[in-house]
Amino acid sequence: MISTIKKSTLELSLLFIVFLLTIYIWTLPVSTLPFGDVDSAPHFILADSMSYYDMASIYRPYPVTDFFNNPPKEIHYWYPPQFHTNLAIMQVLGNDRFIPPYILLAIVCFLIIMSIFLLINHLYGFIPAILSSLFVGASSRDYWVYLWGQWPQATSFFFVPLILYAYFKYVHTNEKKFLFLTSFLSVSQYIIHPQGILHSGVALIIFTIIFWIKQKKLSFDYKWVAICLFILIFLIFILAPLQFMGNLSRVDDVASISSSDSVNNSLSHRIIRLFQWNPPVNNSIPQDYFHYSLSYGLWTLPFLLMGIFLIFYRRNNSDILMISWLISIYILLHLDLLGSASRLHRSLGAEAHLFFPLIVLGIIFFISLFKVNSESNKIIYYVIIFIVVIVILSTSWVSAYNNLNSAYGGISRITKEEYDASKWVSENTPLKTNMKVVGTLVYAKKKWITYLAYKGPIYGPDIFDDDNPNNKLANYAYIDYSDAYSLGRKDVVNAIKEWELSHFNGKSPIYDKNNVKVYIVE
Amino acid sequence: MNKSDLKLFGVLTFVLSLFLFVLFGLPGLLFGIFFVLVYWLPYTFIISKFFDDIYERIILSLFFGLVITPTVIYYVSIIGISFKLVIYSFICLIILFIVYLYFIKKMDNKNI
């Protein structure tokens, strides 16, 4: 009994150490100023508006609404509110606008280490589970999505292992609580982001079919599955009612067969594509994201292949779950063959959650070939596992540390000068007005500047953007010299000055501090 | 849920809060305390009634918290009550619940 307690305490302590280490490297980019690419500002402002106005609303805050209409058209949330409410809660309780919600974002974006641990610990034991968590904690496929600001999607994928775990336990124990748990977790996943439910759903269907073939009987009771499906749909309506008030489901957004998708339909392409793993390269995503060696390290490839060989060769119940998951990811990475090439690259994040445990299985299989996995050779076994930990830390973790530590440096995130001006505008100008941004050199920051000012955003890729048809809607002009001064670009500074003179000659700015000016547009 | 589980959460809260305090100062400290209090601890009480496995209790409760806590707070607030007031009331309820279990119901080492 005492040894059992000590063992579980030791295992929990190791899991907690991995949790703390992951918090440390994932929060390296967190500071007193926000970061994220163009998707991040709307997510942040949905949360921020709740604490800013001290009320929850069923409508999006003004910067995210359809301000092009006159009067502006109010639009319901396009996400169920849970994800953004969490950020707002931590803003209030942490007593800071950026640090607490960003710590929470880091945590929810790496919670896969916990869900992977739960699943792999049940299927294969503690050592594969903790090694998988350690690997996934430094997964570049996940931390890039976190840095880009596609936070709900990242969080949603992390329910996949939990749902597989709950369903796997149901078919083995036949305890109904695990079927209810599967339903509840599926609903939770849907309301965080619908893309993840595709992964869970396809994996569950494939697992059910393969398990049915293997056992020669169905692994579930029709009646209870029907009840749980009803609960699932009912809970989605209860927990996410706003989704059904004009914004019916975003699943179509993810998996719709869109004629605008650039899909090569030739037969030869389709046949070749069947033998390729990665989806077509998306030009809006850095090419490195698609490279195996840059995402996992080339040294892991033999172990991944060994892991895949092992699960197909052995085919016990745990392996069948992993095989089902592998097939489901293959299908979801090949939706372009069914006509949809939209957002396929996002499924690569989910791929990493399966590949890392497979790599670990391959490593352990490789070690077992030398017959050191017996009781008499336990010490040698643990020494080898320790060496594997060192290798993971010195490769994946060092790379993750470097990337996260250098993310959003310099002017690539909104600066203190820019933020102060945005904050001043939000506090000293009327609500439901619009602001044009001029002079800011980083495209994604223009969104942050207008959203943090709670103004309808008017900007384009060009620093002046004079051809933008929405310029006539601008009530304020935010003229930003700070980026150009930071880079020492006097030519850009002079160009902005010329633009300012040509548009506001003889007028006084309502805000003029730290190389940022704000004018009223008349 | 028993006293040893509660002690485990006490240690977890202390270490997490201290760690975040070192990294981020007061906002980190507050985050550590309230993260455990709002998202983790209350759901471990509920889940431990149904799940014996310690990993299920600890890991599932966090995922439950991240969905149920915002659902409660959002939908109570949406009827017109101050968002901050709802959050503070929620925390008060959790603290009262723990005090009730620990001191009034005399939590022992058996499951409650």
Residue A256's pLDDT band, with cuts at 50, 70 and 90, is very low
Residue B96 C-alpha, separation from nearest chain A C-alpha, in angstroms? 18
Which chain B residue's Cα is nearest to A16?
Answer: B12
Comparing A312 with A336, which gets the higher pLDDT?
A312
| Beta bridge pairs of residue A519 | A477
Give pLDDT, residue B108. 56
3-state SS string for chain B: CCHHHHHHHHHHHHHHHHHHHHHHCHHHHHHHHHHHHHHHHHHHHHHCCCCCCHHHHHHHHHHHHHHHHHHHHHHHHCCCCCHHHHHHHHHHHHHHHHHHHHHHCCCCCCCC
Hey, how many other C-beta atoms are within 10 angstroms of the C-beta on A365?
A: 18
Q: What is the mean pLDDT of residues A111-118?
A: 94
Q: What is the mean pLDDT of residues A267-275?
A: 78
pLDDT digits (tens, 9 = 90+) for A422-432: 999 999 999 88
* B60, A178 contact by CB (below 8 A): no
Is residue B71 pLDDT above 70, yes or no?
yes
The one-character DSSP state at A72 is P
Residues of B with CB below 8 A from A94's CB? Answer: 27-28, 30-31, 34
Which range (A63-77, A92-106, A254-268) has the least confidence?
A: A254-268
Q: What is the mean pLDDT of residues A241-270?
A: 52
| Beta bridge pairs of residue A511 | A518
Is residue B2 pLDDT above 70, yes or no?
no
**What is the spatial distance between Cα A375 and Cα A381, in angstroms, rounded to a whole number?**
9
Which range (A221-230, A363-372, B49-58) has the least confidence?
A: A221-230
Is residue B109 pLDDT above 60, yes or no?
no
A179 touches chain B (CB under 8 A): no
Angstrom distances, CA of residue A517 to CA of A109, A221, A281, A431, B52: 37, 67, 41, 19, 61
Query: Does the CA dihedral B13-B18-B19-B25 come out positive or negative?
Result: positive
CB pairs under 8 A between A and B: 127
Subunit contact B74:A54, Cβ cutoff 8 A? no
Comparing A236 with B80, which gets the higher pLDDT?
B80
Q: What is the mean pLDDT of residues A441-456?
A: 92
Residue A194 C-alpha, separation from nearest chain B C-alpha, in angstroms? 14
Nearest residue to A193 via CA among A146, A156, A168: A156
Residue A421's pLDDT band, with cuts at 50, 70 and 90, is very high
Residue A208 C-alpha, separation from nearest chain B C-alpha, in angstroms? 23
Q: Within 13 Å and on the Cβ side, how many CA atoms surround A73?
A: 6
Residue B41 C-alpha, separation from nearest chain A C-alpha, in angstroms? 16
Residue A37 C-alpha, separation from nearest chain B C-alpha, in angstroms? 23
Comparing A271 with B30, which gets the higher pLDDT?
B30
Angstrom distances, CA of residue A58 to CA of A55, A112, A450: 10, 30, 22
What percentage of residues in chain B have a pLDDT greater than 90?
Answer: 50
Is residue A265 pLDDT above 70, yes or no?
no
Hey, how many other C-beta atoms are within 10 angstroms of the C-beta on B37?
A: 19
Nearest residue to A213 via CA among A315, A308, A322: A315
Q: What is the mean pLDDT of residues B76-105?
A: 88
**What is the spatial distance between Cα A232 and Cα A398, in angstroms, rounded to a whole number?**
42
Comparing A255 with A400, which gets the higher pLDDT?
A400
Subunit contact B31:A83, Cβ cutoff 8 A? no
Give pLDDT, residue A205. 92
Sheet containing strand A516-520, strands side by side: A456-458, A434-438, A476-480, A516-520, A511-513
A residues 108-147 near B, CB within 8 Å?
108, 111, 114-115, 117-118, 121
A residues 28-87 near B, CB within 8 Å?
30, 50-51, 53-58, 81-83, 85-86
Give pLDDT, residue A239. 63
Residue A192's pLDDT band, with cuts at 50, 70 and 90, is confident
Q: What is the mean pLDDT of residues A44-49?
A: 93
**CA angle, corner A400, sides to A96 and A402, nearest 5?**
85
β-pairing, A511-513 with A456-458?
unpaired
Helix (H) or strand (E) holding A513: strand A511-513
Under DSSP, is residue A164 helix (H, G, I), strand (E, B) or coil? helix
Which of B71, B75, B85, B91 is the mutation pick for testing A, counting most A CBs within 10 A?
B71
**What is the spatial distance between Cα A369 and Cα A389, in angstroms, rounded to a whole number?**
19
Helices A301-314 and A317-333 meet at what angle, rounded to 10? 120
Q: Within 13 Å and on the Cβ side, how many CA atoms surround A189?
A: 28
Q: What is the pTM of this model?
A: 0.90
A residues 347-366 near B, CB within 8 Å?
none
Give pLDDT, residue A75. 72
* A238, A184 contact by CB (below 8 A): no
A residues 220-239 near B, CB within 8 Å?
239
Give pLDDT, residue A5. 59
The one-character DSSP state at A59 is B
Residue A464's pLDDT band, with cuts at 50, 70 and 90, is confident
Which range (A306-315, A393-402, A433-442, B94-103) has the least confidence?
A: B94-103
Is residue A238 pLDDT above 80, yes or no?
no
Q: Show the tokens assigned to A289.
A: 């994201």
Hey, how many other C-beta atoms are within 10 angstroms of the C-beta on A202?
A: 18
Subunit contact B27:A95, Cβ cutoff 8 A? yes
What percentage of residues in chain A have a pLDDT greater than 90?
Answer: 53
Which range (A46-50, A255-259, A340-344) has the least confidence?
A: A255-259
Q: What are phi and psi of A453, to 5 degrees?
A: -85, 0
What percentage of residues in chain A have a pLDDT greater than 70?
Answer: 89
Is residue A29 pLDDT above 90, yes or no?
yes
pLDDT digits (tens, 9 = 90+) for A74-106: 677 777 888 999 999 999 999 999 999 999 999
Nearest CB to A94 within list B31, B66, B70: B31
The one-character DSSP state at A73 is B
Comparing A291 with A375, which gets the higher pLDDT?
A291
Is residue A236 pLDDT above 90, yes or no?
no
Residue A447's pLDDT band, with cuts at 50, 70 and 90, is very high
Give pLDDT, residue A240. 62
Is residue B107 pLDDT above 70, yes or no?
no
